[in-house]
Amino acid sequence: MTMIDEHAPMTRGATDSAAFRATFGSFATGVAVASCRPDGEEGVAITINSVASVSLNPALTLFCLDETSATIAAFLRAGHFALNFLTEDQQAISNRYARDHSFGTGDFGDGWKSGAPILNGALAVADCVLHDVYGGGDHRILMGQVVETGWRQDARPLLYFRGGYGNIGDSAS
């Protein structure tokens, strides 16, 4: 058994963007694709990992987008979004929507209650109507009221840690 020295010195840095990324990149997160479809327009999707549940009553969730993102205007026009949590076998989907925000052929099915398109094969989905938008430095915080949820029992999540993908392994199942 390997022991970790809890008194070993930590790498320390200022609050510059590199130190900030290194610190928060050390917190493993799930990976999601946020999707929407404004009326009469093509659907838009973007890979995200800045997601949080906010409240149980009412059911609220949030995700964050860079205020310069090409997708933010579509999410605001749509007034809805789906948070599609990815399975460990959807790394290619994550990479695709990190670069290209237009829908790939066959990636999305029909919308649920809010009308937001749902990613085929997702681990779990939170279907939301846009509740509020807040400023957060160089990002916007989009809060949604969850109107429908769905999840799969037969799959594991895709994780992101220190700039790379991972999974939870057998011991966490």
The two tokens of residue 144 are 């949604």
170 is a domain residue? no
9 is a domain residue? no
Q: Where are the alpha helices (DSSP H) in the chain?
A: 17-24, 72-78, 91-99
Residue type, 12: R
Number of domains making up the chain = 1
Please tell me the distance from the alpha carbon of residue 33 to that of residue 90, in angstroms, as a whole number: 10
Mean pLDDT of 60-66: 97
From 94, 95, 117, select the one nearest 106 (Cα to Cα).
117
11 is a domain residue? no
Q: Where in the sequence is the domain holding 122, given as residue range(s)?
A: 30-161
Q: Tell me the CATH number at 139.
A: 2.30.110.10
In this structure, of 20-34, 62-76, 79-93, the range with the lowest mean pLDDT score is: 20-34
171 is a domain residue? no
Q: What confidence score (pLDDT) does residue 2 get?
A: 53
Whether residue 34 is predicted with pLDDT greater than 80 in this model: the reply is yes
37 is a domain residue? yes
Q: What confidence score (pLDDT) does residue 10 get?
A: 67
Q: What confidence score (pLDDT) does residue 102 get?
A: 93
Whether residue 150 is predicted with pLDDT greater than 80 in this model: the reply is yes
Do 76 and 130 form a contact (C-beta atoms < 8 A)?
Answer: yes
Q: What confidence score (pLDDT) does residue 21 get?
A: 83
